[in-house]
Structure 1
Amino acid sequence: MTPDMDSLTHYVRTDDVLMGSPQLAPWRPVVGITPQLIDAELVTLSMMQAMLIADR
């Protein structure tokens, strides 16, 4: 798989998991700044970063 397809695959899987189990989503305060990323994007970016660090 290409890196772009890998990212897309992680995003889709994460989105599916978070839709089915919303309690797994990152905690967000009730008030404050409106998020610019949805939870699936945030979790996917975190996973990708962890995988890049692990590859070193």
Structure 2
Amino acid sequence: MQVVAAEIRALQEAIQNGEAEPEEYALLEERQRAAENLKAAYDKLAVNVLNLPRYE
């Protein structure tokens, strides 16, 4: 999850600085979906199986 979050931050920074290639916009969307999916899976496990705190 942390790796995906780091990739998202790097892509967002490149976009904000105007340094992003066109394919990086699509990559950002993919990484954001992946982060949402990972968070949902973690939250489900945290509640149902592992009794872990929510990931933020």
- The TM-score normalised by the length of structure 2 is 0.38
Q: For the pair shown, which has the larger CA radius of gyration, 1 or 2?
A: 2
Considering Cα pairs closer than 8 Å and 6+ residues apart, tell me whether 1 or 2 has the greater RCO.
1
